[in-house]
Structure 1
């Protein structure tokens, strides 16, 4: 039997796992949700829920991966009690990873297109209406979108085909290090803009009266949702990296490092976007259009804006691509675990499969734009995102939670033994009651509220 690949270093594991978590949710969703719900006061609530909600499930997913030494396709099968059916979640999780990439590769393609357009000067001299029209034109023309999506998909699987150490770990180290350097440069530029002080205060100075404007229950739900989704737990996207990990370190400390890095990037993204928005009198709670319409306008108005725009979209491409290669590694490993394919064969087959599966999302903005699956104005991307974010991630997390806490699954004692093997911070074994009886209801609340607020 061929020995399973492992990471070459601890930092490689942390950076690639953080790269999976650090995606557009950090630099796209997080800033505009903070903008919508009143700034720093929201961040405090978000951090609280990140620790009590996201972190325990992340430890559980890593534990299942490391104990089984398998992807989610086989990990439950390796650990479940004989005759039980936990392994059925493996097939649901496989579908979840494919679904996630069916729309994520399209958005990553938009980021690459915007980097190219900014470098080419396509936004220079355009009015606000002109910039908005440019984004509409990007979505309306299917062929360039398909081209960028194919490029992202092919490059992603090429990196994964090279192996864990030579491909995934090496590229992730470069991208994550570069991402952090670029972010620091952009933060320095943003906070030194005229009028940026108001944005910094809005972001970092708590104003709890603003929470009441939106209703405390709505704010708490938004904070729970962001804390839950930011770590990408539930469909085995993280478990795969646990399967490549040695038992030298305890998993709570490693999970804490990954969570901290993920949060640090999200907070830095806000320090780029809020000072810039306030400096130029733009609403920071505008939604996804912030990245593709609002920020190009800001760069147009900024001295040396084209250069800063290039830096910003390099950062966005790296953030998106780090998630793409991390999830592609999971997808590639399905073929290896289920069918015994070689790494390169699985990469080749999945490249063509992924391109075909991603086409509906691209075409949903043009040739299939008449199809509005979630009501007027919705797209195929919205449907795919809803299935993953509002269904598979919360319900999948619930499966991991119950699998690790009940005697009908893997069980609390084996989970704790795995999580606390090695050096570093120990996962507190006395919180079993919380994980078993409280956390499932929080996840179910998030799941149900997601439907109520549709």
Structure 2
């Protein structure tokens, strides 16, 4: 049997796992949801849910990976009691990874395209309408979008083909360090803009009046959803990195570190975006268009905006590509674990598979624009995102939760023994009732609410 690859360093493991969690969700979804739900008060509720929802499930996913030394493709089969059917979930988990990449590669391509647009000065002096027009023009043309999607896929699999230590670990490490430095530079620039203090106040000083305006229930549900989705839990994307680490540290300690990094990036994204929005009199609750329409507007009017704008989209590209590389690594590991493929073969087969699977998302804005799965204005991307975010992530998290706590699965004792091996924070014994009975109900609630919001409001 081939020896399991391992990370060269603990820092590599932390930065890659954080890179998987730090994606467009942090730097794109988090700021606009914070803007919509009234700023600082939302952030506090979000942080609370990050600890009570995200941490335990992440520790469980790492535990299943580390104990089995396998990807989601066979990890349940290795650990489940004889005669049980937990390994059936592997197919849904794998489907989740492919589905996620079916649209993520396109969005990563948009980020890369915007780096070039910024450098070429496409937004300099353009009116708000013109900036919106540039984004819509890009969506209307399949050719350039396919080109940038292919660039994203080539970069992702190119890194994975170099192996775990020489490719995934080395390159993601460098990318994540650049990402963190870029963020700090952009945040300093944004905070020093004239009139930025209003934005800081909106973002950092809780105003519970605004919370009541939005409806406390809505804000709590939005915070819960964001905390849940930000860590990419439930599709085995974390389990794979668990399978590459040693037993030196407890898994709750590592989960805390990764969650802190993930949160740092999300909070810094807000520090970049809100002061700039207030400085230029732009509504921060603008929704998904914030990154592609609102921010280019701001950079277009800023001194040295071309450079700052290009840097911003380099940072966004790194955030997107760190997730692409992490999930591609999981996809490559499926083929290696399930069918004994070599890394080269797994990369090659999946390279072509992902290229083909990514086409519907690109074409959803032009050739297939008549297909509106959720009514007027929706596209293929919305359907794919809904299936991953609102279906597979919560159901997968539920499977990991039940598998690690139920005596019909791997069981609480085995899970805690694995999670607590090494130095660091141990998994609290008092949390057993919470993670066995209450947390599964919360995850089920998030799952059902996702469907209710989509189809019954």
What TM-score comes out, normalization by structure 1 length?
0.99
1:11-160 to structure 2, matched below 5 A, reads 11-160=11-160
CA deviation after TM superposition for structure 1 residue 453, in Å? 1.3
CA deviation after TM superposition for structure 1 residue 430, in Å? 2.2
Equivalent residues of 2:300, 2:306 under 8 A apart: yes
Task: Note the alpha carbon deviations across 1:414-453, whole angstroms, 9 max, x for none.
Answer: 0000000011111112211000110011011111111111
User: Which position in structure 1 is the counterpart of 2:373?
Assistant: 373
CA deviation after TM superposition for structure 1 residue 375, in Å? 1.3
C-alpha distance in 2 between matches for 1:274 and 1:376: 30
User: Which position in structure 1 is the counterpart of 2:238?
Assistant: 238
Q: Which runs of 5+ in 2 are unaligned?
A: none
| 1:412 matches 2:415 | no
1:187-206 to structure 2, matched below 5 A, reads 187-206=187-206
CA deviation after TM superposition for structure 1 residue 339, in Å? 1.1
C-alpha distance in 2 between matches for 1:376 and 1:296: 26
| 1:163 matches 2:166 | no
User: Which position in structure 2 is the counterpart of 1:277?
Assistant: 277
CA deviation after TM superposition for structure 1 residue 384, in Å? 0.2
C-alpha distance in 2 between matches for 1:285 and 1:97: 30
C-alpha distance in 2 between matches for 1:186 and 1:255: 27
User: Which position in structure 2 is the counterpart of 1:182?
Assistant: 182
User: Which position in structure 1 is the counterpart of 2:173?
Assistant: 173
Equivalent residues of 2:124, 2:301 under 8 A apart: no
User: Which position in structure 2 is the counterpart of 1:207?
Assistant: 207
Q: Which runs of 5+ in 1 are unaligned?
A: none
| 1:449 matches 2:449 | yes
| 1:326 matches 2:361 | no
What TM-score comes out, normalization by structure 2 length?
0.99
CA deviation after TM superposition for structure 1 residue 354, in Å? 0.2
C-alpha distance in 2 between matches for 1:176 and 1:247: 24
CA deviation after TM superposition for structure 1 residue 108, in Å? 0.2
CA deviation after TM superposition for structure 1 residue 158, in Å? 1.0
CA deviation after TM superposition for structure 1 residue 46, in Å? 0.5
C-alpha distance in 2 between matches for 1:38 and 1:127: 27
CA deviation after TM superposition for structure 1 residue 249, in Å? 0.8
CA deviation after TM superposition for structure 1 residue 121, in Å? 1.3
Q: In angstroms, what is the RMSD of aligned CA positions?
A: 0.6
CA deviation after TM superposition for structure 1 residue 125, in Å? 2.4
| 1:225 matches 2:225 | yes
User: Which position in structure 2 is the counterpart of 1:307?
Assistant: 307
User: Which position in structure 2 is the counterpart of 1:247?
Assistant: 247
| 1:266 matches 2:266 | yes
